[in-house]
Chains A and B, each alone.
Chain A
Amino acid sequence: MATGTVQVRFFARYAELAGCETTAVSVAVPATVADVVRQVREAIPGAALLPERPLAAVNMRHVRLDAPVNDGDEVAFLPPVAGG
């Protein structure tokens, strides 16, 4: 099975919980955002505190957790947005 590398970004409170703003994880591709969430929650101690179903964006577009993730994609985990 092929493996892909995904760039992961954390913002605001999630960056504080994870203790970092960026990381990279390896996932078996084809993968979904939910796979990346699981991987990140296991790999980074602080990230275990992230919700199991966070808001997420792939390559700067809002997506659902069943959205596909490919090698080289950027996955961002977004706390509840509060702009305006």
Chain B
Amino acid sequence: MTYLTRDPIVVSALIAEVAAPQCGGTCVFLGTVRDAPQDGGVTGIEYSAYEAMAVAELDRLLAEARKRWPETRLAVRHRLGLVPTEEASIGIAAAAPHRTAAFEACRYVIEEAKKRLPIWKKELRADGTALWVDPAGRPAVVGPEGTP
């Protein structure tokens, strides 16, 4: 299974991967590159990874999710390389017999992926500069919801 891709994420392919007759609920999460006009505009993000470890870590966290929600089917893609604003950097599909497990498993995978995957991003600004993003330390990447 390859979770990492340099091509655009195809949502219909993720859904097809988890589709099964016993599943009555499918939850899809997309993380997309967003502009940050207050920082002079972001045109895209360059993603890089410790690829072998990212794959190993995804194997581990998907195994955890499958143990916790045993009937849930999961598919994940994380994009690497340049991802323009508005395009998806991560796509997750979770299908389960009922919606609660689909929502919970999908949420678990994105939250753990953000904490654990050895993936880094360099923000490309409209003025031609590029900055490594530290989600914990730099206000530029704090969203309107006030998180990292």
Question: Chain A residues in contact with chain B, CB under 8 A?
Answer: 9, 11-13, 57, 60-62, 76, 78-84
Measured between beta carbons, the chain B residues less than 8 angstroms from A80 are 134-137
- Also in contact, A84 and B120, with CB within 8 A (given A57-B53, A60-B52, A60-B53): no
Partner of B48, one of A11, A61, A76, A84: A11
Chain B contributes a number of interface residues (CB within 8 A of A) equal to 31
B141: nearest residue on chain A (CB-CB)? A82
Q: State how many angstroms separate the Cβ of A13 from the closest Cβ of chain B.
A: 4
Contact A81 B48 (CB under 8 A): no
Name the A residues within 8 Å of B57 (CB-CB).
Answer: 60, 62
CB pair B50 A78 closer than 8 Å: yes
Q: Which residues of B contact A61 (CB under 8 A)?
A: 53, 56
B116 in contact (CB, < 8 A)? yes
